Amino acid sequence: MAKAIKKQALGRGLSALLKDPENDINSASDKNADKVVGNIIELDLDLIEVNPFQPRSHFNEEALHELATSIKELGVIQPITVRKVEFNKYQLVSGERRFRASKLLGLETIPAYIRIANDQESLEMALVENIQRQDLDPIEIALSYQRLIDEIQLTQEKLSERVGKKRSTITNYMRLLKLDPIIQTGIRDGFVSMGHGRALVNIDKKSDQIDLYEKIVEGNLSVRETEKAVKSYQESGTLTQPKAKKSSKLPVFASEGLENLKDHLKAKVAVTASEKGKGKITISFDTEEEFNRLKKMMTGA
């Protein structure tokens, strides 16, 4: 406990140093820069602006409130990262969820690492750190990779080194951007998976992509069934109706319960059941964050 109090007091002392206009720090060579850069500082939330380069565009409100509850009980365990843009003004590099959750709680300060970086360095840091440490959806990841290549002029080989991913993995994500925007939205909203998208991208004609996408959603087709439909299209040049899995009509208790489960869990749920009451419930999730949310709802831990 004493160690934590000492660390917090140190952070506040450095915060006071930053508010002294006579000691304004703008580069790593400035006086007292070594005391600030790389250290954890208690920074006023109202001095921080959101990073315009942030690749994440969707913030789940329920998850933010859960994070706020955690912060209320335990504090901000992992500091955010900011860059100094001018005297007493900072911009987020990473940690926007922690920043938003802290503001929800009405906190005045947040622990932060301070960096001195130009816009290009800030963009690269934001994109790389978010890819590595946040649960972005597949399209957001693909867009982040594309921005690193276009705006930072990284080759796929250099990009692979920076984010610690195989070149083939990066290529698979970026190919999703060749899909029609309707399908990209479907992936982001969880109607189809990245596996479905990887199959659909092999169809060049966008109208045929969308036709098959609609059949996938309507028939709840698996990735394997989608791949077979795409292969058939490539061989014949025409899109045929893929065969969906045979499904027996659900008993009333199961069909009504299914809708209740979907509404309660806010997740994709599938149910198979017999009239005698025997069956199976399958709950799908796309990210570790979503899995943890579902686990907490069902177990309370």
Active site positions, annotated: 96
- Retrieve residue 42's tokens: 């208690």
Contact between 258 and 271 under an 8 Å Cβ cutoff? The reply is: yes
> How far is 244 from 274, CA to CA, in rounded Å?
20
Residue 299, CA distances (Å) to 61, 62, 93, 287 in order:
21, 17, 34, 18
Q: Which residues pair with 84 in a beta bridge?
A: 90
For residue 201, which of 221, 173, 225 has the smallest C-alpha distance?
A: 173
Element (H or E) spanning 90, and its range? strand 89-94
State which amino acid sits at residue 72.
Answer: K
Locus of tokens 């998850």? 63
Torsion over CA: 207, 209, 210, 216 (sign): positive
Q: Is 32 left (phi over 0), alpha (psi -120 to 50) or beta?
A: left
What does the alpha-carbon distance between residue 78 and residue 197 come to, in Å, rounded to a whole number?
A: 34
Which pairing describes strands 89-94 and 48-49: parallel, antiparallel, or unpaired? parallel
Token output for 36: 């600030």
